[in-house]
Amino acid sequence: MAGKPKLYYFDGRGKMESVRWLLAAAGVEFEEEFLETREQYEKLLQDGSLLFQQVPMVEMDGMKMVQTRAILNYIAAKYNLYGKDLKERALIDMYVGGTDDLMGFILMFPFLSAEDKEKQRAFIVQKATSRYFPVYEKVLKDHGHDFLVGNNFSWADVHLLEAILMVEDKKSDVLSGFPQLQAFKARISSIPTIKKFLEPGSQRKPVPDDKYVETVRKVLRMYYDVKVN
């Protein structure tokens, strides 16, 4: 019997959090090795485990997978969360791609200065409410189904719920003008595997704090300050 997938990353959200979400949604137990020192990271480099010299890295099914999208594609396909045909897969890819764009505005938020954080918070909320959430609100309203694609639970649903909660961390009432998304959030959150992942004590990571930022900077030797445009 194959062992549990093993995730190599920091003890925080970052790019690995979507992998945690998808594995949890599929009901797959996984292990984690947290990078806390530069030496750990350099050992992975020396072992040839990091194809492009970067994390996330997931050890699964005899492979050492890097590149977040490749990892997510594999998990979604393996656990039947990637649609029933090419057309559904294309829709899932489009919705996940859009959600990724929104998440990208949030990913580097912890590394900003206090002043830039306030600017970026307003920018994130503006983009979510004017560009991204209206798309999913319309999709759900137009087809009248419980899920985004093919009326079946898919990676697209998992990714959107993760993004909604990320934006709500920045503005708690951000869904006030989106009744379809409010219902969607409640629906997807009640799926047993998702509900379990959202409970205290799960492997879901909290909002990144100063300790997480300090660890990432130390391990990756990230000496520069992140700026917003």
HSE-CB for 141 with a 13 A CA cutoff: 11
How does pLDDT run across 190-207, given as a tens digit for each residue? 999 999 999 999 999 999
Same domain, 135 and 180: yes
Question: Would you call 63 helix, strand, or coil by DSSP?
Answer: strand
**pTM exceeding 0.85:** yes
CATH code of 139's domain: 1.20.1050.10
How does pLDDT run across 136-167, given as a tens digit for each residue? 999 999 999 999 999 999 999 999 999 999 99
103: in domain:
yes
CATH code of 22's domain: 3.40.30.10
For the four alpha carbons of 12, 16, 20 and 21, in that order, the dihedral sign comes to positive
1: in domain:
no
229: in domain:
no
Count of domains observed in the chain: 2
Same domain, 169 and 215: no
Domain extent at residue 56? 6-79+199-220
116: in domain:
yes
- What residue ranges of the chain have pLDDT lower than 50? 1
228: in domain:
no
pLDDT of residue 67: 96
pLDDT of residue 1: 43
114: in domain:
yes
What are the strands, taking DSSP E only, across 25-168? Answer: 31-34, 57-60, 63-66
Same domain, 121 and 95: yes
225: in domain:
no
